[in-house]
Copies of this chain bind each other. A is one copy, B any other.
Amino acid sequence: MGEKNHDIFQAISDPTRRKILKLLAGKELSVTAISEHFPMSRTAVSKHLRILSKSKAVIVEKVGRETRYQLQPGALYEVREWLSYFDQYWDNKLAILKHLVEKEEDAANDLTAFKHRMDQENNKR
């Protein structure tokens, strides 16, 4: 399986991996704990986790004899960024609007806050 794969798009292209990411949302889980949710071998799940790890979508932490995986949502930023390019071409304006109203108002505020912090970061350099 891909050893040099750092591509987040590739990482989330597999349904099993997408499911793993959702599983890890909020809680840190061990390999065995994760693999219990899937009808495949632990080893197979472990490989998926490696791929997710290479793409920085999760981070690894060794705790005793377990390997705990944790979600790192920041890696999804690249996808979000790519998607946003198409915002202007989105023909289904109602869909966008609905989305914005329901889910992205908070995000907008967060982004504003970021912008501020970014500016501060930039000024330091």
Interface residues of A (CB under 8 A from B): 7, 9-10, 12-13, 15, 18, 21-22, 25-26, 71-77, 79-93, 95-101, 103-108, 110-115, 117-118, 121-122, 124-125
Dominant secondary structure at the A interface: helix
Copies in the complex: 2
A-B pairs with lowest CB-CB distance, top 5: A13-B13, A74-B95, A73-B86, A74-B99, A73-B90
Q: How distant is the Cα of A125 from the Cα of B96 in the complex, in angstroms? A: 12
In the complex, which residue of chain B has the Cβ closest to the Cβ of A117?
B87
Q: Which residues of chain B are within 8 angstroms of A9 by Cβ–Cβ distance?
A: 12-13, 15, 18
Q: Which residues of chain B are within 8 angstroms of A18 by Cβ–Cβ distance?
A: 9, 82
Q: How distant is the Cα of A117 from the Cα of B86 in the complex, in angstroms? A: 11
Q: How distant is the Cα of A100 from the Cα of B118 in the complex, in angstroms? A: 8
Q: How distant is the Cα of A86 from the Cα of B96 in the complex, in angstroms? A: 18
